[in-house]
Amino acid sequence: MKIKEVLAELPDLETERLLLRKMGWQDVEDIFEYASIPAVSQYTTWEPHQSLEDSQRFLKATIEGYNQHEIACWGIIEKAGNKFIGACGFAEWRPDCARGEIGYVLSPKYWGNGYMREAVRAMMGFGFCPMQLNRIEGRCMVENTASARVMEKAGMKFEGVLRQHLFAKGIYHDVKMYSILRQEWIK
């Protein structure tokens, strides 16, 4: 399985309420709108965006990833309002192990509505089918109960805590590990 072949043309993914698509320059203000909120990046490795230029740098790197056929996030669009509300995608892909790790972020205006579970399930479908993964993983800092709930509601199983697994924002963090296997997805 060659990453560049599968990602040569990142397809749109559609759910009942969401459209997951490539991000574009038209999305930069919406990205800044949520990425500048400290609560959004509280449990991430990145700091809140301080200016539109921070969001432009993120978007430039994402678009370069698309152009190089590398793993990159899809933008999440709420279909009802045609609003860019977050991102979801694979942060890592190990074709030799048929394993990938999923990551996501959502505007707090849309928290608590099941949107991220819906986006993660769409991403799992892409991971198990075109990417031919056997295992999809997700991790979150132990304090991030909302992210843990998303993974559980999406069908992932809690595997344990990786002690001081992540160094971010100047300190080591314990991380919860979740996963779902292809055989569990098929059921």
Q: What is the pLDDT of residues 40-61, one digit of tens each?
A: 999 999 999 999 999 999 999 9
- Give the contacts of 56 (CB within 8 A, at least 6 positions apart): 28
Residue 76's nearest CA partner among 25, 137, 31 is: 31
Helix (H) or strand (E) holding 185: helix 182-186
Residue 111's nearest CA partner among 141, 135, 136, 76 is: 76
Domain ranges of the chain: 3-133
Is residue 92 within 8 A of residue 100, CB to CB? The reply is yes
| 3-133: CATH number | 3.40.630.30
The answer on pLDDT for 1 being more than 60 is: no
**Prediction pTM value:** 0.94
pLDDT tens per residue, range 97-123: 999 999 999 999 999 999 999 999 999
The answer on pLDDT for 183 being more than 70 is: yes
